[in-house]
Amino acid sequence: MQELKWLEELPEQSLEGGIKLLKELGWNLQVREMDGFFSVNAGHIVLLKTSPRESVDALLYGMAVSFSTLPESALHAVRKFTKESAGEI
């Protein structure tokens, strides 16, 4: 059992909203299931491979909380850096 006690800090107050924020910040996240295991990938890099789905949710939740609780000025700087790195600016 797990309790995600800071969901209200995430966009849309949901894990899905947090995942959208991470993708907006340049994380190319994908969750895959194969042979009873789940993997969380950032592009071609495997960040986590696990059997309980709850571990996947915990990783994504932690990542999303770490960004969503930044001061707005810091979050703006991360967004700007992401766009510059992608050649969008």
CA dist 49 → 11, 21, 36, 40, 46 (Å): 26, 22, 11, 7, 7
**What is the residue-averaged pLDDT of the chain?**
91
Q: What is the pLDDT of residues 40-59, one digit of tens each?
A: 999 899 999 999 999 999 99
77 has pLDDT over 90: yes
* Domain parsing of the chain, residue ranges: 13-84
- What is the value of pTM for the model shown? 0.85
